[in-house]
A and B are shown apart, each in its own frame.
Chain A
Amino acid sequence: MKTRWPQRLFLGVLALFMAAPLIIVAGVSVNEKQSLEFPPQGFSLAWYLEIFANREWRNALWASLGLAACSAALAVAVAFPLAWFGWRRIAPWTRVLQLLGVAPFVLPPVITALGLLTFWATTGFYGQAWTAVISHATFFVTLPLVTLTLGFSSIDRPVVEAAATMGADDATVLRTVVLPLILPYVISGYAFTFVLSLNEYIIAYMTVGFTLETLPIKIFNALRYGYTPTMASVTVLFISLAALVFGLIARHGDLPRLLGAPAAERE
Chain B
Amino acid sequence: MRREAPRRLADYAPLLFPGLMLLVFFVVPFGTMTAVSFFRRQQGGFYTPDFVLDNYGRFLSPFFGNVLGFSILLAVAVALACVALALPFTFTLSRMARRFQVLWLVALLSVLSLSEVIIGFAWSTLLSRTAGVTNILVALGLMNEPRALVPSLGAVLTAMIYQALPYTVLVMYPALVRLDPTLLEAAKTLGASPLRAFFNVVVPALRNTLVATVIMVFVFALGSYLLPQILGRPTHWTLSVLITDQAVYQSNMPFSAAMAVFLVLLSLALVGLTTLVGRKDEGA
- Give A contacts to B, CB under 8 Å: 1, 3, 7, 10-11, 14, 17-18, 20-22, 24-25, 27-28, 35-39, 77-79, 81-82, 84-85, 87-91, 94, 97, 100-101, 103-104, 106-112, 114-119, 121-122, 134-135, 137-138, 141, 157, 160, 164, 170, 173-174, 195-196, 198-202, 205-206, 209, 216, 219-220, 223, 231-232, 235, 238-239, 242-243, 246-247, 250, 255-256, 259-262, 264, 267
CB of B213 to closest CB in A, whole Å: 13
Interchain CB contact under 8 A, B33 and A115 = yes
Among B17, B85, B96, B121, contact of A235 (Cβ-Cβ < 8 Å): B121
Interchain CB contact under 8 A, B117 and A216 = yes
- Give B contacts to A, CB under 8 Å: 1, 3-6, 11-12, 14-19, 21-22, 25-30, 32-33, 35-36, 85, 88-89, 92, 94-96, 98, 101-102, 105-111, 113-126, 128, 130-133, 135, 162, 165-166, 170, 173-174, 177-178, 181, 219-220, 222-223, 225-226, 230, 240, 243-244, 247-248, 253, 256-257, 260, 263-264, 267-268, 271
Supply 13 A–B pairs (Cβ within 8 Å), ascending by A.
A14-B85, A36-B128, A39-B135, A100-B27, A119-B33, A121-B253, A122-B36, A141-B22, A164-B1, A196-B113, A219-B121, A239-B110, A246-B106
Interchain CB contact under 8 A, A90 and B33 = no
Could you tell me the distance between the alpha carbons of A78 and B220 in the complex, rounded to whole angstroms? 25
The residue among A21, A137, A262 with the most chain B CB atoms within 10 A of its own CB is A21
Could you tell me the distance between the alpha carbons of A228 and B240 in the complex, rounded to whole angstroms? 27
Interchain CB contact under 8 A, A3 and B92 = yes
CB of A189 to closest CB in B, whole Å: 14
CB of A128 to closest CB in B, whole Å: 14
Could you tell me the distance between the alpha carbons of A165 and B223 in the complex, rounded to whole angstroms? 52
CB of B108 to closest CB in A, whole Å: 8
Which residues of A are found within 8 Å of B263, using beta-carbon distances? 108, 110-111
Could you tell me the distance between the alpha carbons of A76 and B4 in the complex, rounded to whole angstroms? 24
Which residues of A are found within 8 Å of B114, using beta-carbon distances? 199, 235, 238-239, 242
Interface SS, A side: helix
Which residues of B are found within 8 Å of A256, using beta-carbon distances? 98, 101-102, 105, 177
Interchain CB contact under 8 A, A114 and B132 = no
Given A216-B115, A246-B110, output 19 extra A-B contacts at Cβ < 8 Å: A11-B89, A21-B123, A81-B15, A81-B18, A82-B14, A85-B14, A90-B3, A103-B26, A106-B271, A109-B223, A114-B247, A138-B22, A195-B113, A199-B118, A202-B115, A205-B248, A216-B118, A256-B105, A260-B174
CB of A228 to closest CB in B, whole Å: 11
Interchain CB contact under 8 A, A10 and B89 = yes
CB of B64 to closest CB in A, whole Å: 16
CB of A144 to closest CB in B, whole Å: 11
Interchain CB contact under 8 A, B132 and A38 = yes
Interface SS, B side: helix
Among B101, B107, B244, contact of A18 (Cβ-Cβ < 8 Å): B107
Which residues of B are found within 8 Å of A91, using beta-carbon distances? 5-6
Interchain CB contact under 8 A, B225 and A97 = no
CB of B87 to closest CB in A, whole Å: 11
Which residues of A are found within 8 Å of B29, using beta-carbon distances? 112, 115-116, 118-119
Which residues of A are found within 8 Å of B220, using beta-carbon distances? 108
Given contacts A38-B125, A82-B14, contact A24 B131 (CB under 8 A): yes
Interchain CB contact under 8 A, A202 and B244 = yes
Could you tell me the distance between the alpha carbons of A14 and B219 in the complex, rounded to whole angstroms? 23
Interchain CB contact under 8 A, B32 and A243 = no
CB of A20 to closest CB in B, whole Å: 6
Could you tell me the distance between the alpha carbons of A148 and B233 in the complex, rounded to whole angstroms? 43
Could you tell me the distance between the alpha carbons of A265 and B73 in the complex, rounded to whole angstroms? 43
Which residues of A are found within 8 Å of B126, using beta-carbon distances? 20-21, 24
